[in-house]
Structure formats: C-alpha cells, structure tokens
C-alpha cells in the first residue's frame, strides 16, 4: 500500500541569498514614464505660479503707478507686471516671496476677470486720469502637452484594462472560467523535473512490492536505455496502474517522478475535455510534442477512464463525439512515436473494465500493474510509515493494528492514524495510545456516537435484543466472523452496531457464506423469538444478505439448481446492455433460489436462538446495563467458542509462505469490517 511522506508539507531549506535576485517588472517602466509626464507638468509652471489678486486690487495698484505692463491671456486672465520700484514696496512682498522660482520677466500678480470690455474701459479711464504709461498686451497661451495627455488618457486607460484582462485570461486556469483563451489547445500538464522539488520516493511507498518492482524497472528503462536495447529489447510504451480507490496508484506515480530524475508530465484525464470541439485532441498532440522534445520523459494521466471509455457505447445519435476524438488522438500518439523516443505513458484508474480495448492492447499499455488492497503484512508497513510523525505510545503494537483493519486501503489507514491523533488531542493526552486507534476505527467504520439521541425504553430494548441476536448467532456458528464488540449507542445512521473481525480469505466456501448470512439475520430472528414481531431495523442486514445470496446464485455458481453458471461480466460492458443474459424462466428460478437461501438461514437463526433463549436474554440485559459489551462478556455467558481457531503464523513466517493461486474472488463481506 502506498503512503504519503511525512515531510510533504515542510518547506525546503533556505535558499542561497545569491539566488534570490529581484525580478525586473515592466510595470516599473510604466511608472517612470508617468512620473516624467507629471514632473513636466509640475515644472512647466505649477511651482512658479504668481500671486493671485482681484480686479479691484489691480485698479489700486494701477492708480498708484506700480503697474508696468498688463498681459491679457486668452481674454479671460490678466498677468500683472510691476515696476522695479513697486517690487521694493512692502505691500508687494507677498508676490515676490511666494513666487520663488520667478525670473525677471515673470509676472507678479495674476487675476481672472469677467468681461474684457469693462476691464479695457477701466484701464483706459485710469490711464487718462492719472496720466500713466502702462502698456496693455494681448497674448494667447496653450498647454499642448496637457491637452494631448487629456485627450489620450481615456484611450490609454481602456487599452491598459484590455491588456490586463487578456493577460489574465491567457494565463491559464488561474484566469477563471475563460482561462487559456489564447492557449486553448495547449496542454495543461504540470512538469516535474530535476529542478522541481518532488520529495516522494519509493521509500515512502509501503507494501506493493510487486507494483514497485514494475515501476522501478520503468525508471531504470529511462535511466539506462542501452542496457535493454543492446539486447534487442524495446522500451515499453506504457503501464496502467489498476486498483481500488485509495490503494496508492497516484502516489506510486509521484514516487516515479521523484526517482526518475527525468521530465515528468502529470495531468488528469478530465484536463483534456473542454466545451470547445477539438480541444482535447489538440492538447494530446501538444502534450506528446512537449514530452518528445524533453525525452527521455514520463507522461502520467490520472483517472484515464475520463477519456478512455469504450467508444460507440454512449453515442446513440451517431454524431461526432469530442471524447472519442480525444481518445483516438491518444491512441495515435501512443502508437505513433518510435521505440527510441524514450517517452513512457503511465496511467491510473479504478475502472479498468470500462476502458477501450484498443487502449489496453500491447504496444500502447504494455503492462497492467494491479494495485490491490494490502494484506496484514503490508498494512503493518503502512502503519509504520504513517505513525512516524505521530507521538505514539512506546508500547504500541503494529501487528495488532494491522489485524484490526482488514480490508482497509492505504488511504483508510492514513485516515485512521490522523483520526487517532485527533482523538488523543481531544482527550488531552500526551501520546496516541492503542485505545485511540480502536476508537478511530470505530469512528470511521460505524460513524460518530450520538448519545443525545432520544430513544424510548421499548425501542432500546428492541435494539438490545437485535444486537444480542447478532452476537449470539455469530458466536455459535463455526464460520461466522469472530465478534469484537457490540453496542446499542447510536452511531451514524444506525441505532446499534456489532463489530466483527472477518478472516482474510482468498477463497470462500458455501458453508462460510451461509454462516455469515445466518449471523446477519440473527438480529431479525431475535426480534421474532422474543417479541413475536419484526421491525424495520434490519434493513442493512437484509441488504447484505440479499447481495450475498444473489452472488452465490448468479456469480459464483454455488447453487445446485442453477448449476455451474455465472452471469458475471468481468469486462464491465454489460452495463450498456438492455437485456439480461438469461431467460425469464431462469430469472424466476434465480429469484426463487435467492429467496429460499435467505429464508433457510433465517429459520436456522430462529432455531439457534430458541435453543439459547435464556443466554440471549442474559446477554441483552447485560447490553442494556452496560450499553457496550466485548468478547470477554460473551465468554462469561456462552463459554469459549468450541471451534476457536489457533493463532495464525507470525508475520515473519507469513512473508515466506506461498500465496494460494485462485481465480475465485472474495466476497465483499470478508474484505471489510461489517456492521449491523
């Protein structure tokens, strides 16, 4: 099973200060240009502006003979030039002190007037009355630069906004829903190379020895191609990682990226699909073009079933399908480059049954690497990886934790470890103990306890007898899973639950499945025996039993009347068919046999409980009292199980033992911790 690196979230050590050079931004150029224009405007007259006055004060200055010249600008503003004697007067000191940048030819005052004709008449009248030689000059001024700026400024703002929007839109997915408007056909793959910090290695992948060996060989292909090509061999085109969710397929690919030291292109299958026609095929072409330019390289496509589904199954209209075009282009590219291209395609999926057959053939995906759920030895290795960053109890037994989590994937185990740490922190403990892990497993499998749920005494009694029925029947049947604990505290959606520890079987026999069905029906049977009535509380039990019975009849060929037939399609293509693979007469027979199987085990459970009614009542009373009971409590009431199996071989010996070779699949009930 695979696991994440405990140092994933840690940052790299501080980089060399020499490498931290500030990047030059073109926006600094724009800022400098703006400042230059502002400076020109300021220094062109803003700081040397003369003192302001009024027309009345101007008439006073004119009458006293202080005005040497009047310049009328643009028929609305007048500039007043004083005589040299007038500048020395204290009354005009204000104009000379404020005008710090004034030259000899600079005006001393400036004022605005309303009507030019009135101003001319008053000046003419004052000159004649006081016999003055003041000259009146007319001038026209214009600020060309300012006018140009005012004219161009709106256009500049519009262009700047447009450039900003276009850059954001063309910058990729970060630009929002309209991302890649200019690069719509470009590949969205992330490139990891020797300059990229990829910390995941094969050391962080626990278990999966066979899968690791396969992908390590692929890495070796790319590092030392001559080693294989010198013997006439060809480097494989691709490898497909197949397995249930959470088993570590993506992490295995990340480990390849960390180990290979070659360019590694990573993307998801959904990255090819867009609303525009032809985009997927274009991105496939661009992806392989980039990979071949950087060869040797690895391309990793996660969830390839998004584009690799079998063609022609869902296209009822007969129209051109964008997803099919993408798949066709992928098929062409994978079989199009030569063996010397040194480009290997890795892909991961948990739906290998729906992939197109053309994609699975040799020459495209030459190898299929199965990543299964971990066994007890592999789970121990996974726990060791995930427990490294935790402050765990020194006496924590890894073997015990591995045995308590049958059917758990690597992701489930990582979740257990995290949940245990949270539970320990909630209880203010200094270390994570064994009980925290058990509580974490209960929390994940059964759900959160709901102690505040309102349950009537009659309902509580019914729940207690229901769970006691499960415990009793499973205890008295040889092939039923051993009981771990029983509770009547509501958890998740269930009002009560029973935990079992199923054996990890490679093959399952009919008597084992029948015993499991009988134990599952023990709850409803107990209600019938004690209360002479049944309730809706056995819904999950009935669902489980019905699935098992249907599997026995239609999949595994374990029914005498139906015979050695199976209607299971391992290719997964049957989901597209509208007809059943058997006749109506056979369907009736199947339904009858399923019903008989279930009813037979139900009557068997009733018989067992009637024979042990006193012990059943004793167990239910104990359950009502304590709310939670364990294996030890059942031993006090029923005694030790007569068919208790011996302890399995130690993990070290198991490692050396040979696995049983069988084509028979294990039932889901034996792979997962079951709850009532």
Catalytic residues: 467
Residue matched to tokens 């039990």: 541
CA distances from 442 to 448, 451, 485, 499, 553 (A): 8, 15, 10, 8, 33
User: What are the distances in angstroms from CA 148 to CA 37, 47, 266, 580?
Assistant: 11, 21, 52, 81
Q: What residues contact 222, with CB distance under 8 A and at least 6 apart?
A: 235, 260, 262, 296, 297, 298, 342, 344
Tokens linked to 511: 């008597």
| Burial status of residue 449 (CB atoms within 10 A of its CB: 0-12, 13-18, 19 or more) | middle
Query: How far apart (Å, rounded) are the C-alpha atoms in residues 533 and 500?
Result: 26
CB 292 within 8 A of CB 339: no
**C-alpha–C-alpha distance, residues 644 and 647, integer Å:** 9
437 membership: H or E segment, kind and range: helix 434-446
Q: Where are the beta strands (DSSP E) in 220-314?
A: 238-242, 264-268, 297-302
Contacts of 488 (CB under 8 A, 6+ apart): 460, 463, 464, 467, 495, 496, 623, 624, 627, 628
Dihedral, 306, 309, 313, 318 alpha carbons, nearest 10: 70
Close Cβ partners of 383 (under 8 Å, ≥ 6 residues apart): 398, 401, 402, 413, 417
CA angle 14, 15, 20 (to 5 degrees): 125
- 240 forms beta bridges with 347, 368
Q: Please give the Cα distance from 672 to 405 (Å, whole number).
A: 8
Tokens of 204: 């962080």
Q: What is the phi-psi region of residue 290: left when phi exceeds 0, alpha when psi lies from -120 to 50, beta otherwise? A: alpha
Tokens of 403: 């045995």
């Amino acid at each position: 099973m695979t696991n994440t690196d405990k140092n994933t979230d840690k940052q790299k050590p501080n980089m060399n200060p020499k490498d931290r050079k500030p990047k030059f931004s073109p926006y600094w150029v724009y800022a400098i240009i703006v400042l230059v224009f502002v400076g020109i405007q300021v220094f062109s007259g803003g700081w040397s502006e003369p003192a302001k006055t009024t027309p009345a004060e101007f008439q006073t200055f004119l009458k006293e003979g202080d005005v040497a010249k009047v310049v009328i600008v643009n028929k609305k503003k007048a500039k007043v030039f004083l005589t040299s004697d007038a500048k020395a007067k204290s009354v005009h000191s204000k104009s000379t002190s404020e005008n710090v940048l004034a030259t000899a030819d600079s005006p001393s005052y400036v004022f605005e007037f309303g009507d030019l004709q009135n101003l001319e008449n008053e000046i003419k009248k004052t000159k004649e009355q006081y016999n003055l030689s003041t000259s009146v000059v007319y001038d026209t001024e214009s600020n060309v630069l300012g006018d140009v700026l005012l004219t161009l400024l709106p256009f500049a703002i519009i262009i700047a906004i447009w450039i900003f929007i276009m850059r954001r839109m063309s910058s990729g997915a970060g630009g929002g829903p309209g991302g890649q408007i200019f690069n719509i056909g470009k590949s969205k793959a992330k490139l990891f190379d020797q300059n990229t910090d990829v910390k995941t290695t094969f050391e962080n992948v626990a278990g999966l020895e066979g899968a690791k060996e396969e992908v390590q060989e692929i890495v070796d292909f790319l590092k030392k191609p001559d080693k294989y090509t010198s013997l006439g061999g060809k480097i494989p085109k691709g490898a497909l990682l197949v397995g249930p969710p959470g088993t570590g397929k993506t992490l295995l690919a990340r480990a390849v990226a960390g180990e290979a030291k070659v360019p590694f292109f990573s993307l998801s299958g959904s990255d090819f699909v867009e609303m525009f026609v032809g985009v997927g095929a274009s991105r496939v072409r661009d992806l392989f073009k980039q990979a071949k330019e950087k060869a040797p390289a690895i391309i990793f496509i996660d969830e390839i079933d998004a584009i690799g589904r079998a063609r022609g199954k869902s296209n009822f209209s007969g129209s051109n399908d964008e997803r099919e075009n993408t798949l066709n282009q992928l098929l062409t590219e994978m079989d199009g480059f030569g063996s010397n291209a040194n480009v290997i395609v890795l892909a991961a999926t948990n739906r290998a049954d729906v992939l197109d057959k053309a994609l699975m053939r040799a020459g495209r995906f030459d190898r299929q690497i199965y990543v299964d759920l971990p066994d007890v030895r592999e789970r121990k290795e996974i726990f060791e990886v995930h427990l490294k960053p935790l402050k765990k109890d020194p006496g924590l037994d890894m073997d015990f934790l591995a045995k308590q989590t049958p059917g758990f994937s690597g992701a489930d185990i990582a979740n257990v470890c995290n949940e245990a740490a949270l539970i320990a922190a909630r209880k203010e403990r200094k270390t994570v103990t064994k009980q925290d892990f058990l509580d974490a497993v209960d929390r994940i499998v059964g759900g959160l306890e709901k102690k505040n749920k309102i349950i009537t005494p009659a309902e509580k009694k019914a729940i207690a007898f229901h769970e006691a029925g499960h415990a009793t029947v499973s205890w008295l049947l040889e092939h039923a899973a051993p009981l771990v604990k029983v509770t009547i505290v509501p958890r998740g959606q269930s009002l009560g639950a029973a935990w079992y520890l199923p054996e990890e079987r490679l093959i399952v026999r009919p008597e084992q499945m029948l015993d499991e069905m009988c134990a599952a029906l023990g709850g409803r049977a107990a209600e019938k025996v004690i209360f002479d009535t049944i309730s809706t509380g056995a819904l999950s039990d009935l669902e489980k039993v019905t699935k098992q019975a249907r599997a026995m009849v239609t999949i595994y060929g374990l029914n005498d009347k139906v015979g050695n037939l199976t209607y299971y399609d391992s290719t997964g293509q049957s989901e597209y068919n509208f007809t059943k693979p058997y006749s109506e007469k056979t369907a009736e027979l199947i339904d009858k046999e399923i019903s008989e199987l279930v009813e037979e085990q139900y009557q068997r459970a009733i018989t067992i409980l009637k024979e042990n009614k006193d012990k059943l009542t004793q167990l239910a009373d104990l359950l009502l009292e304590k709310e939670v009971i364990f294996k030890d409590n059942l031993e006090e009431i029923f005694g030790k199980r007569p068919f208790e199996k011996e302890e399995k071989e130690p993990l070290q010996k198991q490692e050396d033992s040979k696995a049983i070779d069988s084509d028979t699949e294990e039932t889901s009930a034996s792979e997962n911790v079951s709850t009532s």
